[in-house]
Amino acid sequence: MSPQKKSTFFKRIAHYGPRRTFNKLQQRILQRFHGYPRSILLQAVSACNLKCEHCFLNNFGKEIGDGVIRILPYDDFIARADKIKHLIRHVHSFYFSGFEALLHKDLFRMMDYIVSINPAIEFPIMTNGNSFTPRIFDELTKHPIPEISVSLDGISRETVESFKTGAVFEKTVETIKTLVSLDLNASIGTVFVLHKGNRHEFIDYLDFVNDLGVKDVYVTNLMSFTPALRDRYLYTPDSNPELDTLFSRTIEKAKKNRQSLTLPATHAMLKGCTQWNLLFIDIVGNVAPCDYLSVSTPFELFGETQQTRPLIFGNIMNDDILSIWNGKAFKKFRAMHRSGKKLPGHCRLCADAWGLVCSNRTVYDFR
């Protein structure tokens, strides 16, 4: 093992603890040798309390005519979970939505049911920070939540609320403060979606969240779905010295604050998408590579646009889940992303497959 890998390994033990680190390694071995996914997202919430212009959910019923806005009833969720019990027993992480899972009134009952299947499972939470209640804060202390990532795209009300339609800046900040103050065995991080409208606050952002007690900062670029967003993102097809300089300054700030900073690429680099190791099941039970490809999502990248039909490999209510996951077509699709050498046609204009959003980011851990 190289010195760098050793350092990363021991940092993980220090951060997650020996038990969680061992569980993660064990699940990776199972995934590699037995053909299991690493994580499952069984969509119980296909909805949000915000109406952000840049989110593809806002195009459901418009450009995305087959998109379904819905919150799955508890009994329907249990019926679907029962269909995939065998896989739930062998994964480490479970998600309830790629949108705002906290909107579901039975979220923590659903967690309890999944824990009854796999007592070692964990539930990372991604949230916009505007749907918390005293009950939710209390329930978080009673469930295996390893990390909570709160979306905060600036350090001022004007910047945040002009980008996140319906968000309340002060409420998001108070949510972060409360989460940091709770007795949670979870890391509290923030997600910053970088675009032309908030880059002026990016350098100071690390100090701002550091003062709130946040040590994990995740940065993504703005993902474009329609030409309307073409002039708002900062990444480029080729070299990008301006953004490189901005990132270098931010890395120095993270080092000074002893924070962990996760950064995307500044220009397009073919890398593939890391969702290949996630089993995604949409709100109607279809298995797709991701939430984007479960519906007719349009993509825009550097002026070129594409909209394809959904890419569905089966439905868990009609087909055996292992047969779907290990089917030839689905395995070939995942292998293409895993290799990062050639993209499936559906993904060629997805910025995430080019290292520009969430997948294959670089971690600078100074904690």
Please name the residues in contact with 364: beta carbons below 8 A apart, sequence gap of 6 or more: 251, 254, 255, 260, 261, 262, 263
The pLDDT assigned to 313 comes to 98
The pLDDT assigned to 135 comes to 97
The pLDDT assigned to 28 comes to 55
Strands 93-95 and 260-263: unpaired
For 190-229, write each residue's pLDDT tens digit. Answer: 999 999 999 999 999 999 999 999 999 999 999 999 999 9
19-33, 62-76, 295-309, 346-360: segment of lowest average pLDDT: 19-33
Residue 188 has pLDDT above 60, yes or no: yes
The mean pLDDT value of the chain amounts to 93
3-state secondary structure 246-261: HHHHHHHHHHHHCCEE
The pLDDT assigned to 19 comes to 57
Q: Which residue has the higher pLDDT, 74 or 185?
A: 74
Q: How confident is the model at residue 38 (pLDDT cuts 50, 70, 90)?
A: very high
For 233-274, write each residue's pLDDT tens digit. Answer: 999 999 999 999 999 999 999 999 999 999 999 999 999 999
The pLDDT assigned to 5 comes to 47
Beta-strand ranges (E) seen in 205-259 are 216-221
Residue 4 has pLDDT above 80, yes or no: no
Tokens in use for 25? Answer: 């390694």
The pLDDT assigned to 35 comes to 78
The pLDDT assigned to 21 comes to 55
DSSP letter at 351? G
Angle between helices 3-16 and 18-34 (to 10 degrees): 120
Q: How confident is the model at residue 325 (pLDDT cuts 50, 70, 90)?
A: very high
Mean pLDDT of the region 299-322: 97
In the chain, % of residues over pLDDT 90: 89
What residues pair up with 307 in beta bridges, in sequence order?
298
Q: What three-state secondary structure class fits 115?
A: helix
